[in-house]
Structure 1
Amino acid sequence: MIPPIASRFVAGETPAAALDHARERNDEGVKVILNLLGEHYDDPEPAREDAAAYRQLIDDIADTELDACVSVKPSQIGLDVSADLFAELFRGVVEHAHERDVFVWCDMEDADTTDATLDAFVDVATDNPWTVGQCLQSNLKRTREDLKQVVDVPGKVRIVKGAYDEPSEIAYTEKARVNEAYRGDIEYLFEHRDRGVAVGSHDPEMVSLARRLGEEHGTDYEIQMLMGVRDDAQRDLAAEDVEVWQYAPYGGKWLSYFYRRIRERKANLLFAVRAVLGR
């Protein structure tokens, strides 16, 4: 059972609990991206099991009227075993989603996975247009060139600052430089796309930038934030007719995810404690 202090960041241990969470957020105007917790499998069996779980979750979403979709991690569905297994399982999930009219996001993990992840995205999106989206990380120095590679792909693109601790040879490590790259990448997407732009950020400055650029360019876009972080802002933005998606993980592997959220930002622990105490 997930303790109250962790349940702020995790939408339950079962698909049913995750779908209930999505229904509650939908009632507040917020859409939900559901992620089954799990990553870095070096055995093909759990990778295949989680891919099957995602196909079932896609069916569950399709059989409801929920504004919800799914998000997978490459290392969860085979990339740590082989690029071929990941490509096979990812395609299977996306093709099933395409049949059921449910959207699939693919997260981006550490820099070593970037090429295989982008190759799979471009390949699958070409055959299943506007069914799949890919995340890219602005802290990587290569990202602007990667954006040029995917800007015309018929799928959504989510841009985030990046949470992985990468070496300075390949990544910007100073906060100000990451913010500069992130602003530039957001501007590039809005200038070159008329749809399918996702800005994954809790930074009010970046959210305001996205709103301004969306109005200037007439681009369809969405704001994405994590469950448990700036929940009030998510509801407020949705009330102002901004398309808001909350990334909500669920599943039995919740403990390591919760610790990661706390390590990333100590304020998250304060938010969680206040939520538990009702203050």
Structure 2
Amino acid sequence: MIPPIADNFVAGETAPEAIDRALELDERGVSTILNLLGEHYERPEPAAEDRDAYVRLIEDLDDAGVEACVSVKPSQLGLDLGKSTFRSNLETVVETAAERDAFVWIDMENHETTDATLDAFEALATTHEWTVGVCLQANLKRTRKDLARLIDVPGKFRLVKGAYDEPEDISYTRKARVNEEYRELLRYALANRERGIAVGSHDPAMIEHAGALAAEHGADFEIQMLMGVREPAQFDLAADYDVYQYVPYGDRWLSYFYRRVAERRENALFAVRAALGV
């Protein structure tokens, strides 16, 4: 059982608990992106198990009439074992989504996985249009070129600032510089496509900036935030935007919870208040 502090950030250990969370959010006007926790497998069996779990999740969501996306990590589907293992498992998940009119997000991990992830996204978005999306990180110096390369691919982009501690020669390390790059990526994306853009940020200034750019260029975008972070703002924003909450679940919740708390001071304070009941 997930303890009270952690359950602010993780929906539960089972798929039914995650689906219940999606139903609750839907009642409040917020959509859901479900992520089964798991990553960096050294054997093919766990990757295949998670592949099959995602297939069942997509089928269960469809059978329950719940419109929720799923989000997978490349290393979870076997990228550490080789590109072919990753691509084969990912294709199975995406094909199921295409059959069920569902959607699959591909999370981005560290810079060593970027090429394999983007190549898989481009190939699958071409064969299964508007069924798959990928995450692009503003802190990587290469991302402007990646976005330009993929701007006409019929899939979605989630633009984030980036959470991985990358080498200085390939990344921007100052917060102000990352913010500047994020604004430029938003500008380019919203000026060059009408849909399929996700603002993955809890930063009110970035969301306001995206809104102004969208109005200027006649484009559309959605907002994506994490479970347990600025949830009142998510419900408020849902009155004007398509808002998605990224909802993790599964029995590997402990490391995810510690990362969420460590990433942001306000997350740590939130966890302490939850523990004290204040």
TM-score (norm 1): 0.98
Q: Which residue of 1 aligns with 2:195?
A: 195
1:270 counterpart letter in structure 2: L
1:274 & 1:20 partners in 2: Cα distance?
A: 25
What amino acid is the match of 2:272?
Answer: V
Does structure 1 conserve the Cα–Cα contact (< 8 Å) formed by 2:262 and 2:268?
no
| Equivalent position of 1:71 in the other structure | 71
Mapped partners of 1:82, 1:129: distance in 2: 25
Q: For residues 271 and 244 of structure 2, what CA distance do their matches in structure 1 show?
A: 20
CA distance in 2, matches of 1:157, 1:260: 23
Alignment of 1:234-253 (within 5 A): 234-239=234-239, 241-253=240-252
- In structure 2, give the amino acid aligned to 1:44: P
Task: Report the counterpart of residue 176 of structure 1 in structure 2.
Answer: 176
Give the aligned residue type for 1:159: L
In structure 2, list runs of 5 or more residues that go unmatched.
none
- Aligned equivalents of 1:217, 1:223: Cα separation in 2: 17
2: distance between equivalents of 1:277 and 1:225?
25
Worse overlay, 71-80 or 203-212: 203-212
Which residue type is aligned with residue 258 of structure 2? Y
What is the aligned length?
A: 278
- How far apart, CA to CA, are the structure 2 residues paired with 1:81 and 1:147? 27
> In the alignment, is the contact (CA less than 8 A) between 2:37 and 2:251 conserved in 1?
yes
Question: Aligned equivalents of 1:112 and 1:147: distance in 2?
Answer: 17
Please name the residue that 2:49 is paired with: 49
Q: Structure 2 CA distance, aligned partners of 1:212 and 1:29?
A: 22
Partner secondary structure for residue 159 of structure 1: strand
Query: Where does structure 1 differ by over 3 angstroms across 4 or more consecutive aligned residues?
Result: 275-279
> Pairwise CA RMSD of aligned residues?
1.0
Structure 1 range deviating more: 130-139 or 65-74: 65-74
Deviation at 1:276, TM superposition (A): 4.9
Q: In structure 1, the residue corresponding to 2:102 is in which secondary structure?
A: coil
Shift of 1:76: 0.1
Cα offset for 1:87? 0.8
Q: Which amino acid is the alignment partner of residue 266 of structure 2? A: A
Does structure 2 conserve the Cα–Cα contact (< 8 Å) formed by 1:61 and 1:69?
no
AA aligned to 1:150 is L
Instruction: Give, as a single letter, the amino acid of the residue that structure 2 aligns with 1:84.
Output: S
Q: Distance in 2 between matches of 1:79 and 1:219?
A: 34
- Corresponding residue of 1:268: 267
Q: Deviations over 1:11-64 (max 9, x none)?
A: 100000000011111111110100000000121110011000000000011112
1:116-265 alignment runs, 5 A limit: 116-239=116-239, 241-265=240-264
Partner Cα distance (1:219, 1:62) in 2 = 29
Residue aligned with 1:4, SS: coil
In 1, Cα distance between the equivalents of 2:174 and 2:5? Answer: 31
Following superposition, the deviation at residue 219 of structure 1 comes to 1.4
Counterpart amino acid of 1:249? P
CA shift for structure 1 position 269: 2.0
Which residue of the partner structure matches residue 106 of structure 1? 106
> Match of 2:60?
60
Match of 1:88 in 2: 88
- Using the alignment, how far apart are the partners of 1:170 and 1:272 within structure 2? 34
Q: CA deviation at 1:277?
A: 4.7
Q: Distance in 2 between matches of 1:106 and 1:168?
A: 25
Post-superposition offset of 1:275: 3.9
The one-letter amino acid of 2:267's match is: N
Amino acid at match of 2:195: R
Instruction: Give the share of equivalent positions with the same residue, in percent.
Output: 63
Shift of 1:218: 1.9
Residue 266 of structure 1: CA displacement? 2.3
Specify every segment of 5 or more residues in structure 1 that has no aligned partner in the other structure, as ranges: none
| Counterpart Cα distance in 2 of 1:275 and 1:69 | 28
Letter in 1 for 2:34: L
User: Would the aligned equivalents of 1:47 and 1:78 in 2 still touch at CA under 8 Å?
Assistant: yes
Counterpart-to-counterpart distance in 2, 1:20 and 1:261: 22
Task: Return the TM-score normalized by structure 2.
Answer: 0.98
Residue pairs, 1:18-33, within 5 angstroms = 18-33=18-33
